[in-house]
């Protein structure tokens, strides 16, 4: 049996998932479901990227260890995938012991082969951000991210000798036109590879600068660069997470689906790593486009990050899945707006698809007593159109051309709506001599709908199932090739009238708040509601700030000494909104039973309550004087 292996990027656990993450994951889900329908053995992998600077920093800001932080954040991804009906076969976490073992094995193999060497490394280093920049990346000689001064650092590091694979990689891309898609991205990568020499890749970080990573097996003073660790997931998962892993050779993947932001790491780093390992390359790396929101870049500071859960609660999971893939060709950038999604729901889903099912079922009830009639003849045109679409779907979905695939399905929907208008079953029903014709027309609509349910299923699984069950089936059983044959629908069966698939959304029903992510939503979904006894476990007390000073190298962090009945040292991330001077003498509220944490090397024994973020942070202060140490309840 043919196998089909598809992956999404493994997402960083430094933040909660948004519409962009949902996009890539639904794309992989559509092809996974389609290939399962074709009868292939599918391995659909997604997961989380949990090592490295970003995650370590996010954990520090929450006063948690990186692993504790990752354990919490990973639940957000898992909960969203469930809500989005994602049918992944496995979920990899780079902190899995088995994954770490495979990464170390690969490092050792490359090191033994002389593909990894130790060399001095020189670069411009931004201490607060803890990262290197090249001369070219600097902005007016300063860190391009935070604008602070950088210093030249020289240290020893391990390098993967990527440069020697430059020509081989160019050749591979040239000889495999589908290796990188869409074509514009392929040309970009080729242009970049042909125009300048490829450097070697620094794959280590000294432990003294970054400890949160997989230790190099051949040098305990270093951890693995997070991208090297992350990319290996696609292979390591086949060894311990894939179905029937003992007997099936899952590697190489058929598709790596990624956003355009991480094409280079996949097309260049990963491909050359595989070449050095003498392993086969994946069939395709597809770099899709970027979602903006109401014409603007999505960003936390703009407060316009679209929360997929919110969109689903408002419009339904299938409408959301449909919108993402109908609105823009896969590969190009797209813009999310409520107007656009409502427009799609009303026209394509309520009007075209929903109405077709609704009017067909109403007529069946009215004219045939709800029983599927035996057609007097086969409508060859409808049959040909319905059956031909399968070939088109195979062709388009093998290149991840989702929009074209949906266009094909809609050709059948449009055809059947017109077919009803032309044949006017309501007139046929009035003529006793046209009973046979009426049976043919209604059967054709019902059988056409069965094809639509079948074809639409990978995109909108719930809708596909609903259409199928409206036609008297329990589930989509069997293989697509057999099911996509005209005449499969059984006659003589009495059907019940289904609920409307997609009710129209009127502007007055539309909720006022846009589906934007709550900035503070960083806790796992399953922990949203807590009982009073859980709240009571948090010990909050009134305190007074006795001393305050900025922590060196941090814009945000301030070290406070507070009196809560006893003296405590607390590190608070309020430095962008307050100076130490204005804090001294202030009455505040402190969580006093929090596990101690270290932030930028400074111990923190508690947490200050504050609202907002960035420059809009406000420290919570008791409204009237009240003795320090008083419990807040
Ligand atoms: O890069 N539009 O993880 P990440 C479309 N851990 N897609 C978007 C998007 C947007 N506005 N924003 C994010 C990493 N994405 C690494 C990957 S893989 C071995 C390691 C999607 O959490 C898109 O798929 O930053 C993008 O490539 C991915 O999220 C980046 O996720």
305 lines ligand 1 (CB under 6 A): no
Question: Can you tell me the mean pLDDT for 405-410?
Answer: 98
261 lines ligand 1 (CB under 6 A): yes
336 lines ligand 1 (CB under 6 A): no
3-state secondary structure of 492: coil
Pick from 534, 583, 537, 541: nearest CA to 558: 583
- Closest atom of ligand 1 to 8 CA is 24
Choice from 7, 8, 9 to test ligand 1 binding pocket (greatest atom count within 8 A of CB): 9
As a three-state string, the secondary structure of 334-361 is EEECHHHHHHHHHHHHHHHHHHHHHHHH
Q: How far is the CA of 182 from the centre of ligand 1 (A)?
A: 17
The answer on 241 and 381 residing in a single domain is no
The answer on 543 and 433 residing in a single domain is no
Residue 512 pLDDT grade (very low, low, confident, very high; cuts 50, 70, 90) = low
Nearest CA to ligand 1 atom 28: 259
Residue 528, pLDDT score: 54
- Closest atom of ligand 1 to 233 CA is 19
Is residue 624 included in any domain, yes or no?
Answer: no
pLDDT at 301 over 90: no
Q: Which element (helix H / strand E) includes 329?
A: none
Q: Which residues contact 84 (CB under 8 A, 6 or more apart)?
A: 22, 25, 26, 29, 308, 312, 317, 320, 321
Pick from 259, 308, 319: nearest CA to 285: 259
CATH number for the domain that contains residue 599: 2.40.50.140
Structure tokens at 455: 């074809």
Q: pTM, whole model, 2 decimals?
A: 0.82
Q: Which element (helix H / strand E) includes 376?
A: none
262 lines ligand 1 (CB under 6 A): yes
Q: Output 599 or 321, whichever has higher pLDDT.
A: 321
Q: Which residue has the tokens 């600077």?
A: 53
Q: Which residues contact 176 (CB under 8 A, 6 or more apart)?
A: none
The answer on 360 and 285 residing in a single domain is no
The answer on 115 and 28 residing in a single domain is yes
17 lines ligand 1 (CB under 6 A): no
pLDDT at 478 over 70: no
Q: How far is the CA of 15 from the centre of ligand 1 (A)?
A: 11
pLDDT at 3 over 50: yes
Q: How far is the CA of 258 from the centre of ligand 1 (A)?
A: 7
Q: Which residues contact 196 (CB under 8 A, 6 or more apart)?
A: none
DSSP state letter for 8: E
222 lines ligand 1 (CB under 6 A): no
Among 289, 323, 345, identify where a domain stops.
289
- How many CB atoms are located within 10 Å of the residue 399 CB? 17
Choice from 6, 10, 11, 51 to test ligand 1 binding pocket (greatest atom count within 8 A of CB): 11
Among 289, 313, 345, identify where a domain stops.
289
Is residue 296 included in any domain, yes or no?
Answer: no
DSSP one-letter string for 144-172: TTT--B-EEEEEEEEEE-GGGGHHHHHHH
Q: Output 477 or 470, whichever has higher pLDDT.
A: 470
Beta bridge partners of residue 335, listed in sequence order: 292
Is residue 328 included in any domain, yes or no?
Answer: no
Residue pLDDT, tens place only, 240-289: 999 999 999 999 999 999 999 999 999 999 999 999 999 999 999 999 99
Residue pLDDT, tens place only, 566-603: 899 999 989 888 899 889 899 999 999 988 888 888 88
Nearest CA to ligand 1 atom 4: 11
Pair 288, 189: CB distance under 8 Å: no
12 lines ligand 1 (CB under 6 A): yes
> CA geometry: angle at 626 spanning 624 and 629, to 5°?
140
Q: Residue 547 and residue 569: Cα distance in Å, rounded?
A: 9
Q: How far is the CA of 533 from the centre of ligand 1 (A)?
A: 38
CATH number for the domain that contains residue 421: 1.10.730.10
- How many CB atoms are located within 10 Å of the residue 345 CB? 23
Nearest CA to ligand 1 atom 27: 259
Q: Output 493 or 135, whichever has higher pLDDT.
A: 493
Q: Which residue has the tokens 């390359």?
A: 281
Residue 521 pLDDT grade (very low, low, confident, very high; cuts 50, 70, 90) = low
Domain that holds residue 566: 532-619
Mean pLDDT of the chain: 92
Nearest CA to ligand 1 atom 13: 20
Q: How far is the CA of 359 from the centre of ligand 1 (A)?
A: 42
Among 289, 312, 327, identify where a domain stops.
289
Is residue 306 included in any domain, yes or no?
Answer: no
Question: Can you tell me the mean pLDDT for 312-325?
Answer: 97
pLDDT at 48 over 80: yes
The answer on 460 and 566 residing in a single domain is no
Q: Residue 529 and residue 440: Cα distance in Å, rounded?
A: 55
Q: Residue 441 and residue 429: Cα distance in Å, rounded?
A: 11
Pick from 453, 311, 427: nearest CA to 26: 311
The answer on 453 and 381 residing in a single domain is yes
Q: Residue 266 and residue 251: Cα distance in Å, rounded?
A: 16
578 lines ligand 1 (CB under 6 A): no
Pair 505, 348: CB distance under 8 Å: no
Q: Residue 52 and residue 342: Cα distance in Å, rounded?
A: 40
Instruction: Encode burial over 61-92: b for 16+ CB neighbours within 10 A, e otherwise.
Output: bbbbbbeebbbbbbebbbbbbebbbbbbbbbb
pLDDT at 532 over 60: yes
The answer on 265 and 149 residing in a single domain is yes
> CA geometry: angle at 293 spanning 287 and 296, to 5°?
95
Is residue 431 included in any domain, yes or no?
Answer: yes
Q: How far is the CA of 632 from the centre of ligand 1 (A)?
A: 41
What Å distances lie between residue 462 and 36, 386, 539, CA to CA?
A: 16, 21, 45
Q: How far is the CA of 607 from the centre of ligand 1 (A)?
A: 32
Structural domain count of the chain: 3
The answer on 463 and 347 residing in a single domain is yes
Pick from 48, 53, 46, 131: nearest CA to 95: 48
Choice from 99, 259, 267, 306 to test ligand 1 binding pocket (greatest atom count within 8 A of CB): 259
Question: Can you tell me the mean pLDDT for 471-476?
Answer: 81
Is residue 499 included in any domain, yes or no?
Answer: no
The answer on 356 and 430 residing in a single domain is yes
Is residue 324 included in any domain, yes or no?
Answer: no
The answer on 353 and 438 residing in a single domain is yes
Residue 404 pLDDT grade (very low, low, confident, very high; cuts 50, 70, 90) = very high
The torsion angles phi and psi of 124, rounded to 5 degrees, stand at -90, 125
pLDDT at 524 over 80: no
The answer on 146 and 57 residing in a single domain is yes
Is residue 509 included in any domain, yes or no?
Answer: no
As a three-state string, the secondary structure of 183-225 is HHHHHHHHHHHHHCCCCCEECEEECCCCCCCCEECCEEEEEEC
Pair 467, 452: CB distance under 8 Å: yes
Question: Can you tell me the mean pLDDT for 543-552?
Answer: 91
Q: Which residues contact 230 (CB under 8 A, 6 or more apart)?
A: 10, 49, 51, 94
Nearest CA to ligand 1 atom 3: 11
Count the residues in the chain: 633
- How many CB atoms are located within 10 Å of the residue 518 CB? 11
CATH number for the domain that contains residue 268: 3.40.50.620
For the chain, the distance separating the N- and C-terminal CA atoms, rounded to the nearest angstrom, is 63
Beta bridge partners of residue 132, listed in sequence order: 125
The answer on 132 and 190 residing in a single domain is yes
Question: Can you tell me the mean pLDDT for 123-127?
Answer: 84
DSSP state letter for 558: E
24 lines ligand 1 (CB under 6 A): yes
């Amino acid at each position: 049996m043919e196998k089909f292996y598809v992956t999404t990027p493994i997402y960083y656990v430094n933040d909660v998932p948004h519409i962009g993450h949902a996009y890539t994951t639904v794309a992989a889900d559509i092809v996974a479901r389609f290939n399962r329908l074709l009868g292939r053995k599918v391995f659909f992998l997604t997961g989380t990227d949990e090592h490295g600077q970003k995650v370590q920093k996010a954990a520090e800001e929450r006063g948690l260890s990186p692993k504790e932080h990752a354990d919490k954040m990973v639940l957000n991804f898992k909960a969203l995938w469930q809500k989005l009906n994602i049918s992944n076969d496995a979920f990899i976490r780079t902190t899995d012991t088995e994954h770490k073992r495979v990464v170390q094995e690969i490092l050792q193999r490359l090191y033994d082969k002389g593909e990894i060497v130790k060399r001095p490394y020189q670069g411009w280093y931004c201490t607060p951000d803890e990262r290197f920049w090249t001369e070219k990346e600097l902005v007016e000689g300063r860190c391009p991210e935070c604008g602070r001064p950088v210093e030249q650092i020289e240290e020893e590091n391990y390098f993967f000798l990527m440069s020697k694979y430059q020509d081989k990689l160019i050749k591979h891309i040239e000889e495999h036109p589908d290796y990188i898609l869409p074509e514009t991205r392929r040309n970009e990568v080729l242009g970049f590879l042909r125009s300048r020499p490829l450097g070697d890749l620094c794959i280590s970080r000294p432990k003294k600068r970054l400890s949160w990573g997989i230790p190099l097996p051949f040098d305990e003073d270093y951890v693995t660069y997070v991208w090297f660790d992350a990319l290996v997931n696609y292979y390591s998962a086949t060894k311990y997470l894939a179905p029937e892993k003992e007997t099936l050779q899952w590697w190489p993947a058929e598709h790596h689906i990624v956003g355009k932001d991480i094409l280079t790491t996949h097309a260049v780093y990963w491909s050359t790593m595989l070449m050095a390992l003498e392993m086969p390359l994946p069939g395709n790396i597809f770099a899709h486009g970027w979602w903006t929101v109401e014409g603007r870049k999505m960003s936390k500071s703009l407060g316009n990050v679209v929360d997929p859960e919110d969109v689903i609660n408002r419009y339904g999971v299938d409408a959301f899945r449909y919108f993402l893939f109908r609105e823009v060709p896969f590969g190009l950038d797209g813009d999310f707006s409520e107007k656009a999604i409502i427009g799609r729901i009303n026209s394509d889903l309520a009007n075209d698809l929903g109405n077709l099912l609704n009017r067909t079922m109403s007529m069946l009830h009215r004219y045939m007593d709800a029983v599927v009639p035996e057609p007097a003849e086969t409508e060859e045109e409808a049959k040909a159109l319905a059956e031909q679409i399968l070939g088109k779907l195979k062709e388009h979905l093998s290149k991840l051309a989702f929009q074209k695939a949906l266009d094909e399905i809609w050709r059948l929907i449009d055809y059947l709506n017109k077919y009803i208008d032309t044949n006017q079953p309501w007139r046929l029903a009035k003529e006793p001599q046209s009973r046979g014709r009426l049976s043919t027309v209604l059967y054709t609509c019902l059988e056409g709908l069965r094809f639509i349910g079948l074809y639409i299923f990978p995109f909108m699984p719930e809708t596909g199932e609903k259409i199928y069950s409206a036609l008297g089936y329990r589930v989509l059983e069997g293989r697509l090739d057999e099911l996509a044959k005209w005449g499969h629908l059984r006659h003589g069966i009495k059907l019940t009238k289904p609920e409307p698939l997609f009710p129209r959304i009127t502007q007055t029903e539309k909720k006022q708040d846009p589906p934007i992510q709550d900035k503070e939503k960083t806790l796992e979904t399953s922990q949203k509601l807590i009982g009073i006894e859980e709240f009571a476990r948090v010990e909050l007390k009134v305190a007074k700030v006795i001393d305050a000073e900025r922590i060196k190298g941090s814009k945000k962090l301030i070290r406070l000494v507070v009196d809560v009945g006893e003296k405590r040292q607390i590190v608070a991330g309020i430095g962008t909104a307050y100076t130490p001077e204005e804090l001294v003498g202030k009455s505040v509220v402190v969580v006093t039973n929090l596990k101690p944490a270290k932030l930028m090397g400074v111990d923190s024994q508690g947490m200050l309550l504050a609202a907002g973020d960035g420059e809009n942070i406000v420290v919570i202060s008791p409204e009237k004087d009240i003795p320090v140490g008083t419990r807040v309840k």
